[in-house]
Amino acid sequence: RQGSELSGWAMGRWTYEGIDLNHNFADLNTALWDAEDNDLVPHEFPNHYIPIPEYYTLANATVAPETRAVIDWMQRYPFVLSANLHGGELVVTYPFDMTRTYWKAQELTPTADDGVFRWLATVYATSNLAMASEERRLCHYDDFTRFGNIINGANWHTVPGSMNDFSYLHTNCFEITVELSCDKFPHASELPVEWENNRESLLLYMEQVGLG
């Protein structure tokens, strides 16, 4: 009813219980960075396969059942590559999603595998028909074409508790976020075009598993 391009960024992301699924995973970043600052990594604190904090596993923790189900799924299967699909912008973001300086809304915060993440994001962005189009327009006010339609997530806006950061730090899975379209909620008639825009990029992205 609000129009496909007129709804807010968080529209459609909140559960019936009022939980924003985009920020609902355990914050493992802060624990890692605190340990790094205190010279505890890696002999006393791991820099990968970081365990979930005890507070997050409590019965009264604000964790959506959908989030718990996804975490159980990730722990059962050793995924190595993943992408989560969003709408409302045309860009590919890669970890870290959370700024290292906690009070900053934007800050370049690369992982130790920044080159790999930049490659994965570039593979998707350069083969996505909408992003690569010469007629590509700006969705809002950010001109991501200057960066090849990719950006470090934290350098765009900080997202504590993101699935990307959690996947990377807890399970060693390399995960990116693909903002598929300026339309946050495309009409049904537009879905075939959206599929064609992303079909080849999805296939090429998955093929990177065999090239790694």
Distance, CA of 99 to CA of 109 (rounded, Å) = 6
Radius of gyration in angstroms for the set of CA atoms belonging to the chain, rounded to a whole number: 18
Distance, CA of 139 to CA of 62 (rounded, Å) = 33
Give exposure, 28-55, as e/b (b: 16+ Cβ within 10 Å).
bbebbbebeeeeeeeeebeeeebeeeee
Q: Is the dihedral of CA 72, 42, 109, 128 positive or negative?
A: negative
Place of tokens 């992982």: 111
Beta strands 150-152 and 81-86 are unpaired
Residue 179 annotated among the catalytic residues of the structure: yes
Active-site residue, from 179, 194, 196, 207:
179
138, 190, 140: which is closest to 9 by C-alpha? 140
Residues belonging to the active site: 179
